[in-house]
Structure 1
Amino acid sequence: MTALGPFLFGAPLALFALLALPIIWWVLRATPPAPKDVELPSLRLLEGVEPKEETPARTPWWVWLIRTLAAAAAIGGLSQPVYAPGAKNEAADAGGALLVVVDNGWPSAPRWSELVDAATATLDTGGRDAPTHLLLTAPQTLNADPATRLSRADMAKRLNSLRPQAWATDRTEALKRLKDSGLKPDRIFWASDGVEDEGGRAFAAALSAMAPLSVYAAPPTGPAAITGISSQTDSVSVTLRRVQPRGEERSFVSALTLDGSALATSEVVFAVGERDATASFSIPAAALSRIARFTATGRQGAGTVWLWDSSDRSRRVGLVDAGAAAQPLLSDMHYVRKALEPFASITEGTIESLVATSPDAIILTDIGQIQPEDAKRLTDWVEQGGALIRFAGPHLASQGDDLLPVALRRSSRALGGALAWDEPQAMAPFPATSPFAGLSIPADVRIRQQVLAKPAPDLGRKTWARLADGSPLVTSDSRGSGTLILFHITAGPDWSNLPYSATFEQMLRRSIAAGRGEAVSDAEGAYTPQLVLDGYGRLAAAGASAAPLKAADFGTVKPSEAHPPGLYQGPSGTRALNAGAGAKPNLIDTWPVSAHLLGDAEARSLRLAGPLLSLAAILLVLDLFVALLVAGHLPRLGRKAKGAAALLLICAMATALPHSAEAQSYRYQQMPDGSFRRVSTAPQVEALPRTGNATQKEIDAALTMRFGYVETGNRALDERTRAGLSGLSSVLSLRTSVEPAEPDSLNLETDALELYPLIYFSVPEGAPPLSETAIAHLNTYLRSGGALVIDTRAGGTVGTDTDVAPLEKLLEGLDAPPLQPVPANHVLGRSFYLLDDFPGRFANRRLWIEKTGGPNAPRGDGVSRLFIGDADWISAWAVDERGRDLYSVDGGPQQREMARRFGVNLVMYVLTGNYKDDQVHLPALLERLGEGENGDKGTDAGGAIAPDDLRGTAPGSEPQ
């Protein structure tokens, strides 16, 4: 380039065309030759008529001025001018060897062209034959020796061929290379990025001591680097840093996919005097998983790009909705949710809905029976690479399925159980090959109960965690491309106190990663570069110079030529090495006193070729328009044409105005094809859809509490069940504050079961098995807190136990827990009345309820949701429309009364749970019993307290 004052010219010979401007001016101002006159006889009629318009003898001055300026602008543009005040070097000593120092690290990328222009401009100072030398501060294997002598032409070519590197400068290493070269320059020009590193000021002082120093400082404006990122369940925060904390500054950060498609943009605001600022993104989990990088919009450079790897990304985890829990703190899902919230995006739903979203992992807590359709969906999803994590419990202990890593024994091991421990077991140290290796185990963690795996030759290979006695605690197995993982304990505190510890959270996190095929303990692994960033922040395939990186070095290594910033593939999936990670770039504000400083104020650079050529084109178009208008070749606009033109102008202005909808907040909605569409979240008034799907029966059940009974197809049995529930409803209305409406008959396949707190199932003889749909609805109903009473009505055979053989076929697929007879002192015997037996039409029959926990402690809230018996309670409760008993009872009126009391207790237990299990009413009850012994209140022959003695007035109220 040739310098002329503060201007640089890439093609200075083009300026000689300016000498032709006078000739161009003379040609443009001349008029064409006059037309030849021809005498026509008819023109004599126009003699004496003076013309109203006259043709000028010469071109108007403003026309040839436009044309002359267009020619001058075109010539100036073709000379490729650059305005660079820094090109004027006013150093006193302009002769001798010149050393050009260029900062070519990633901080120089935003203003790289200015640095190159300033360095090129300084070549025009000094003697034409003076030697030049080059020193680059970004370390490279093939960095040129500073002692190598270059001509001015070669130096100019070399400078124009340089590109910024994707790693930072190392000025200490550059100064060492300079001293080792033995070069003694006569003057030094430093094209600096103006950013302080560990040796920036010392480097400037050393250069100033060697020779007269001129410094062109061009620090980056706006965000200089993305220094960190933090992700939550549904949001991401990106931290940016600038080097010049002057005034308030606004910028934007874009979230991009790997192919460069923008998913979201967030504004970042640097406050006055602050160097750091944060951009926040709130993006749906499905869209969040597609983000591969964040970049500062309009800011080129490797430092303003943050690659988001799989280790930092928020995991998408699906929790199979087991229904609402009356006591959330005692539910297994509560502890899983709390453990996942710090690092995962959680979605709850059915198996079908979760599989459709393809999360990183799906978690099931104590589900013993999975419906065939859902099992098929889960199997396909796992085989395609999904991670299925399951927790044990009573349901899984009594009945398993094929979606387990190991075969299980059909019972659980517990203190005092059939497979008993002498004392709770501690956890053994994790094996070195386990994903949990390296995690600390709290000394106070104890396992009280677990499901046992059947011995197998490969059980050791499948075991990730063990108890102190060697029994498996966590097992896993591959299924296709995915993984099945089983925790042999509950996710809640029922079987152990592990969910209370921080180790539980880490075990879940590592299980999800390992289930996706990503190692979590990979200190000996290596990562191979796949995609790397260049100095401008563009992704490209890794070159031959990029070397693998040890996993243990990821936290400490800095980007370099051997390990450029980019995406590395290894045992833990994809990991990113970012140029700006942890960087704290600051402005160099202290320079040597003797240095001649150039910079933003004195050496700003502006390329003028584009603006000058654009100006020439605009002037030529204007000249053409004037020529056509003067010649009368442009149509004259009529009234209609003017109106149409005005309307067109108004529409164009309205289109150009910013739309308020664009300024509103928005979210992203996934489309059926997998893409995402931006949807405004502005408040809108939308009419509720009138689908008409809710029947009057469902509306009535939602508004008024009532019981339901299963339609069996046996009309007489269904009528008996309806009469029994009607009689129980009447007793409840008379004796308690519970006032049920008339019961409803229910079709298990079509009706909304969740509207009924209690469903009664009178099993007919020879009943066919329930359909898969009915079983699925019953499972959902029980998991959501509903109560199912199954009565086989077969208690007439004295001396035999409840025959459940017909139920096994009838209820095949029902996710039923282990059952047990109602134990002594169970809350069901005192939820309203004091009872020690639960008779119906038949006496002395067993009532089976859910075995809700170990022998010494209840599981969850201790409330059973399944009741099985054969006492034919429905016949004992049944009344006609006038309230008269319909069926006889073996024990007469006294047994019928006790059957009704059991019905009241049953409903109170279902509605209020186990709150009376705390014995707060025991003193009052004992006092009443004492009064009875003294003769004030009598008991019947069977030892039961008379009806009037223990009649309550409200659910759970004190007996009066």
Structure 2
Amino acid sequence: MLSLGAFAFAAPGMLALLLALPVIYWLLRLIPPLPKLVRFPAIRLLIGLEPSEQTPMKMPWWLLLLRLLLATALILAMARPVLNPQADLPGSGPLLLVIDDGWSSAPGWTTRITHAERLIQRAERANRPVVLAGTAPVAIDAPALRRGALRADDARTVLRAFRPKPWPTDRAAAVTTIDQMQVDPGAYAVWLSDGLEDEGAAKLTERLRRFEGLQVVLPDQATTPLLLLPPATGGRDLKVQALRPAADGPRKVAIQAADDQGRVVARIDLDFAATATKGEGTLPAPAELRNRVARLDIETQGGAGSTVLLDERSRRRPVAVLGERPTATGQPLLQEVYFLERALDPYVSLTIGDRETVLTRNTAVLLVPDGAVPSANDREEIAKWIERGGVAVRFAGPNIAAGNDPLVPTRLRLGDRALGGVMSWGQPSALAEFPANSPFLGIPIPKDVRISQQVLAEPTPDLADKTWARLADGTPLVTAEKRGQGYLVLIHTTANTGWSNLAISGLFVNMLQRLVTLSRGVAGDGVNKALKPWRTLDGFGRLGAPPAGAQILPADAIETFKPRPTTPPGLYGDENAQVAFNIGGHVGEPKPLVLPGGVSTDRLSEGGETDLSRWFLLGALLLLLADIFIALWLRGLLGRAVRIRRAAPAALAVLAVVAVMAPAPPSDAQQPVPQARPQRVADQPARPGPPPLSEEQALKGSLDIRLAYIITGDKEVDDLSKAGLEGLSEILRSRTSVEPADPVGLDLERDEPRLYPLIYWPITSTQPALSPRASAALDRYLRTGGILFIDTRDQQMSFDRPAGGNPDLKRLLSGIETPPLVAMPPDHVLTKSFYLLSDMPGRWQGGKIWIESGGGRVNDGVTTIVIGANDYAGAWAVDQRGRGLLPVSPGAETQREMSYRVGVNLVMHALTGNYKDDQVHLQDIMQRLRR
């Protein structure tokens, strides 16, 4: 390395290429820039254009300097310049990078990888191999990574495959991995630690100290991992808690709550006291908001440990009680509704009322105490509600014992005992363990709960499957039956203290909560025998598909499992119901890493040395782009839009040349001299000459085929003419080989019309008479082969002479040598130049088309004037979506299509002349067709 203070070159040998700069200079001096490219249509020969710029024999000095700078930037980039270079790594062996990649490494992961890349770069400069090792168990579906000593480029590739894992590190296993790789004892070890203590930290530190050097890189406060715990669900709000490794002063973090679509629905601040490792906050969560929250996240952390997934245990389901709210005058301690309200109100959204009140709401669970005797109509409505997915929980008592209520999950025993409704024991009975098919499985049973009276179930073959709770003597206490999408549950005792002390125990609350969660298809931890992984978290806290080979968790012991590759955190269950399995609460409290004395430490940072190679390459690229633009500018190509189109027909070029080369009235002493015209009187005043043709106008008219229209001064008519020719141009592009450019509006006082094969002229009453210059321009246009399509737009062309039927047409044509006109014969070439037409409709239908008599004066008999009256531009005009602007009558869209065909025939006639009127080969063609 060549060091120049804060600047160094990692490959100083490449600087020898600077000696080649004189040779590059000499070569650049010999190579002049490319000559300027000038688009030179033949029509410009007549403009008298002289070349105003010559090709230099030598390169300009400023361009030479630019290219020398470009070569210098490339050479310096290959020399790998470095800003603020770090000292070479200690030791003589490879660089051993040990990276903590468990859940606690997700905060600041980008900084961690950047730090590792800088270390690899330092090893590369010293030509030392790199060994990479992670401390977290690899995922079961992860591809195998290369191990052992690697080249720097290979090490970077392996490093990019590292990702934080959603489970804790196993540093003791990492020691075994390092031993298996047989790393050279002279290696220099760098441990990118997450800053947390675990059982294998001391063992890993001891093993790494055996190498020639060791440095432990610790996270700073911003990247120190925080562990978010599942919220406490007691009460109406969510109590949120988070843990940090060390009490390093006051700290405030933001907790955001999001729904299952990722939308943030709430946000709170969680405060850590200066001397506390636990921060607490309260998320106000009404029932509607609480049921939407699907996850909690610590902002700026972005890891699986700072994410908590919520399931049905954290939601407040709408629960209804059939009956009346207890009152003080009615002895509430004896009323069943009182005990139900006390047990559930802190955890659910509770409603108390009659059947119309509770079943018209979005109720999940309906509690029916024995005192609320539903009528036959009520029982029918409740049965329908259960079929739709509701959970109805009934409590026994004197009314159920009477045996007159069929809305029960199993038949009740009849006879004296059923009639009496009560079974008495010498001693009240306790509860047996919950069966495996019970949603109450896993709930601890208090020893002091006693049942003194109950309603007995009639023994049936399926009674065992319907029993969710039993007494110690085996008699059912809770029975249930699946009906449709819902459940009907019967608790064979009362909801108050009349028959048992169950209503005043914690077991009563837990059982009711399980029944509430059952309304969503999940009953806490014990809904099923086993839960398969449905969605799992990755190391960054993102939910995704579970890895192949993930283990099914037993529902009754999910809280005892630890996050690891076979049991990653996430949601377990199916699309209908899931149980959340989080990192928080399943791993130990984070503790700060304790290192023995004498171990060198550093902090994670994005600073340090900076490789400037990419910046020199970027500068070289910018200089290259500047050189390209300058070259285009010198050639005259910059700033000119080059449009690639098909070559225009040769007839257009011939037309343009003939139009410009046509004789014009000469001038003598700046005075116009009359020119003899065979069709005019000899002493007629002289006609003005053509206006000067600009370069832009010449290029615009000769390089592209364009249809033109005469500007009348009426904005509405002119806009319609432009829209009509645009619509006709689009038809030509889509149906023929002609690809016209945008149409042009002509001001005959300034523009040269001879550049356009077809000119459309709408006649209006407000149009002023043509000036001598405009009349002369149109006269020259007609004499040199152009076609003028006049549209009177009045449907009055039925007279013997068209001008006689329209006074505005007669007035406007008065200054133009108009040849004799005749009605177009049915077999004229205009009816077959592209389409075969029998009529020439526009926006209107009917009338005649008038053309020049005698087959035309020039261009091999091609007519020069076509006059119609059907408002053709109005039929051709379209909007931006390609739809007609004006209605067409009487043929609607069919007539509009025919008017398009009229326009196509006009353009093809203007470009190909009387080609379709040639009958020379007709006999041969017909003879071949007969064969």
Give TM-score scaled by structure 1 length.
Answer: 0.51
Residue in 2 that maps onto 1:538: 542
Residue 244 of structure 1: CA displacement?
4.9
State how far apart, in whole Å, the 2-side matches of 1:395 and 1:608 are.
87
Letter in 2 for 1:380: K
Residue 266 of structure 1: CA displacement?
1.0
Letter in 1 for 2:133: L
SS at match of 1:114: helix
SS at match of 1:266: strand
State how far apart, in whole Å, the 1-side matches of 2:503 and 2:288 are.
28
Residue 363 of structure 1: CA displacement?
1.0
Show CA shifts across 1:569-591 (max 9, x none). 17994222223434422333535
State how far apart, in whole Å, the 1-side matches of 2:551 and 2:412 are.
47
Which of the two has higher C-alpha Rg?
A: 2
Residue in 2 that maps onto 1:47: none
1:340 matched to 2:344? The reply is yes
Residue in 2 that maps onto 1:179: 179
Residue in 1 that maps onto 2:435: 432
Q: 1:108 to 1:480 in 2, by over 3 A?
A: same
Residue in 1 that maps onto 2:122: 125
Residue 264 of structure 1: CA displacement?
1.0
Q: 1:9 to 1:523 in 2, by over 3 A?
A: farther
Letter in 2 for 1:183: V
Residue in 1 that maps onto 2:113: 116
Structure 1 portions without partners, runs of 5+:
20-70, 616-960
In 1, are the aligned partners of 2:312 and 2:522 still within 8 Å (CA)? no
Residue 508 of structure 1: CA displacement?
2.8
State how far apart, in whole Å, the 1-side matches of 2:102 and 2:2 are.
27
Letter in 2 for 1:429: A
Q: 1:443 to 1:273 in 2, by over 3 A?
A: closer
State how far apart, in whole Å, the 1-side matches of 2:4 and 2:312 are.
54
Show CA shifts across 1:872-910 (max 9, x none). xxxxxxxxxxxxxxxxxxxxxxxxxxxxxxxxxxxxxxx
State how far apart, in whole Å, the 1-side matches of 2:17 and 2:267 are.
49
From 88, 92, 95, the counterpart of 1:98: 95
State how far apart, in whole Å, the 1-side matches of 2:336 and 2:234 are.
23
Residue in 2 that maps onto 1:950: none
Residue 186 of structure 1: CA displacement?
2.3
State how far apart, in whole Å, the 1-side matches of 2:484 and 2:448 are.
38
Letter in 2 for 1:133: V
In 2, are the aligned partners of 1:91 and 1:596 still within 8 Å (CA)? no
State how far apart, in whole Å, the 2-side matches of 1:606 and 1:355 are.
69
State how far apart, in whole Å, the 2-side matches of 1:414 and 1:552 are.
36
Q: 1:121 to 1:462 in 2, by over 3 A?
A: closer
State how far apart, in whole Å, the 2-side matches of 1:4 and 1:556 are.
60
1:192 matched to 2:193? The reply is yes
State how far apart, in whole Å, the 2-side matches of 1:373 and 1:130 are.
86
In 2, are the aligned partners of 1:526 and 1:571 still within 8 Å (CA)? no
From 369, 385, 390, the counterpart of 1:365: 369
Q: 1:213 to 1:472 in 2, by over 3 A?
A: closer
Q: 1:396 to 1:323 in 2, by over 3 A?
A: farther
State how far apart, in whole Å, the 1-side matches of 2:335 and 2:613 are.
72
Q: 1:356 to 1:135 in 2, by over 3 A?
A: farther
SS at match of 1:333: helix
Q: 1:290 to 1:253 in 2, by over 3 A?
A: same
In 2, are the aligned partners of 1:382 and 1:480 still within 8 Å (CA)? yes
Structure 2 portions without partners, runs of 5+:
20-69, 620-931
Q: 1:412 to 1:482 in 2, by over 3 A?
A: farther
In 2, are the aligned partners of 1:412 and 1:451 still within 8 Å (CA)? no
State how far apart, in whole Å, the 2-side matches of 1:308 and 1:273 are.
30
Residue in 2 that maps onto 1:270: 272
Q: 1:328 to 1:608 in 2, by over 3 A?
A: farther
Show CA shifts across 1:761-780 (max 9, x none). xxxxxxxxxxxxxxxxxxxx
From 574, 592, 597, the counterpart of 1:587: 592
Residue in 1 that maps onto 2:326: 324
In 1, are the aligned partners of 2:145 and 2:158 still within 8 Å (CA)? no
Letter in 1 for 2:392: L
Give TM-score scaled by structure 2 length.
Answer: 0.52
From 139, 148, 151, the counterpart of 2:137: 139
Letter in 2 for 1:501: S
Q: 1:185 to 1:82 in 2, by over 3 A?
A: farther
State how far apart, in whole Å, the 2-side matches of 1:116 and 1:195 are.
18
| Structure 1, 316-325 or 141-150: larger mean CA deviation | 141-150
SS at match of 1:585: coil
State how far apart, in whole Å, the 1-side matches of 2:155 and 2:298 are.
33
Letter in 2 for 1:536: F
In 2, are the aligned partners of 1:406 and 1:454 still within 8 Å (CA)? yes
Residue in 1 that maps onto 2:204: 203
Residue 566 of structure 1: CA displacement?
1.2
State how far apart, in whole Å, the 1-side matches of 2:603 and 2:214 are.
14
SS at match of 1:166: coil
Residue 112 of structure 1: CA displacement?
1.5
State how far apart, in whole Å, the 1-side matches of 2:403 and 2:17 are.
95
From 292, 296, 304, the counterpart of 2:294: 292
Residue in 2 that maps onto 1:152: 152
| Structure 1, 259-268 or 601-610: larger mean CA deviation | 601-610
SS at match of 2:497: coil
From 545, 548, 552, the counterpart of 2:552: 548
RMSD: 5.3
In 1, are the aligned partners of 2:83 and 2:612 still within 8 Å (CA)? no
State how far apart, in whole Å, the 1-side matches of 2:10 and 2:323 are.
70
In 1, are the aligned partners of 2:439 and 2:527 still within 8 Å (CA)? no
Residue 379 of structure 1: CA displacement?
2.8
Residue 150 of structure 1: CA displacement?
0.9
Residue 276 of structure 1: CA displacement?
1.5
State how far apart, in whole Å, the 1-side matches of 2:512 and 2:472 are.
21
State how far apart, in whole Å, the 1-side matches of 2:299 and 2:616 are.
28
SS at match of 1:279: strand
Written as runs of structure 1 = structure 2, the 5 A alignment for 1:445-594 is 446-453=450-457, 458-466=462-470, 472-513=476-517, 517-518=521-522, 522=526, 525-551=529-555, 553-569=557-573, 573-581=577-585, 582-588=587-593, 590=595, 592-593=597-598
Residue in 1 that maps onto 2:384: 380
State how far apart, in whole Å, the 2-side matches of 1:3 and 1:358 are.
75
Q: 1:462 to 1:117 in 2, by over 3 A?
A: closer
From 259, 262, 265, the counterpart of 1:260: 262
Residue in 2 that maps onto 1:233: 235
In 2, are the aligned partners of 1:527 and 1:571 still within 8 Å (CA)? no
From 264, 278, 281, the counterpart of 1:279: 281
SS at match of 2:136: coil
Letter in 2 for 1:252: A
Residue 560 of structure 1: CA displacement?
1.9
In 1, are the aligned partners of 2:287 and 2:315 still within 8 Å (CA)? no
Q: 1:14 to 1:303 in 2, by over 3 A?
A: farther
Q: 1:597 to 1:454 in 2, by over 3 A?
A: closer
